[in-house]
Structure 1
């Protein structure tokens, strides 16, 4: 049996083309939706922006997904900060392509610092459905306004700013004394019309989605 096997199956009466690949020592994956066009394919060193779900194949229980985190997930391909077998299955991928990736329990690996949840290997095989949204040459800038606007009313209150700072997302505030002192300084500098809120227009930090 060849180490690398490719099975091509065209489902008649449907536009769906399924391509299944298996690479020795790594996961197997299926291309369930191909990109309409492909100007660039993924390679080591690219920053990939993806949406994904992770499920156990025995009962379909979801253990992780990008939607509940509020933003697509991104990482640098080749850094091995997500599961090695996942990374290998995301090589040569086009924007708009969707792959389903299967990893057996004994092959589960990964790093907790990736932001993704490491599944329980005792549950056996896991399944990821991954859509490639973007390929970037540098890390995307997060939309800080969106992250601070907890209630989604398009403005940031002092309490929301304080809550955001208390998540540990902002460092180097010690020179302002207490956290509350730092928040007061930041808020005063941003709330130019002094109405008690920082509007989208007033906010000087990153506020446009790159993800």
Structure 2
């Protein structure tokens, strides 16, 4: 009898875990891969910093949908102000000037069910290759 109760409990837990795993992309987390780390970093980005970032954005199939590189002009925004998608807000924190990161952003931290501009489909996971170019108003000796 005890074995039967234990087995039923374990099967119930297994079903619960499986249901959570198959609950769609909203359960996925942001993945951050540091592709280049600077040797010495005295200042890391935080909310409120105005940053300049070079980036290339891709869909999971490798199709590039946007890049600052051909324009030779990084995007500039204030971290934590809601100017960019949540995946960027989270993925670019604690970053050093010169550092390069690959961000794999699930739909709920990107454009979700609505997609964007006819280029990014609904529920798309996005991949961004980023490089922090500058943090404004930080003395050079603190970088």
Point out 4+ residue stretches in structure 1 off by more than 4 angstroms: none
1:134 aligns with 2:134: yes
Compare the two structures and name the one with the higher helix fraction: 2
8 Å CA contact retained: 1:42, 1:93: yes
Q: TM-score, normalised by structure 2?
A: 0.66
- Normalization by structure 1: what TM-score? 0.46
Q: How many residues align?
A: 109
| Separation of aligned partners in 2, 1:84 and 1:106 | 8
Considering Cα pairs closer than 8 Å and 6+ residues apart, tell me whether 1 or 2 has the greater RCO.
Answer: 2
What CA distance in whole angstroms lies between the structure 1 residues aligned with 2:29 and 2:137? Answer: 26
Give 5+ residue unaligned stretches, structure 2. Answer: 1-26, 139-143
Shift of 1:25: 7.1
Q: Distance in 2 between matches of 1:82 and 1:26?
A: 17
- Hey, what does 1:55 align to over in structure 2? 58
Counting only pairs closer than 5 Å after superposition, residues 32-181 of structure 1 correspond to structure 2 as: 32-58=35-61, 60-109=62-111, 120-122=120-122, 124-137=124-137
Structure 1: distance between partners of 2:118 and 2:41: 31
CA distance in 2, matches of 1:74, 1:89: 15
**Structure 1: where are the runs of 5+ without partners?**
1-23, 111-116, 139-211
Q: Is the 8 A contact 1:105 1:121 kept in 2?
A: no
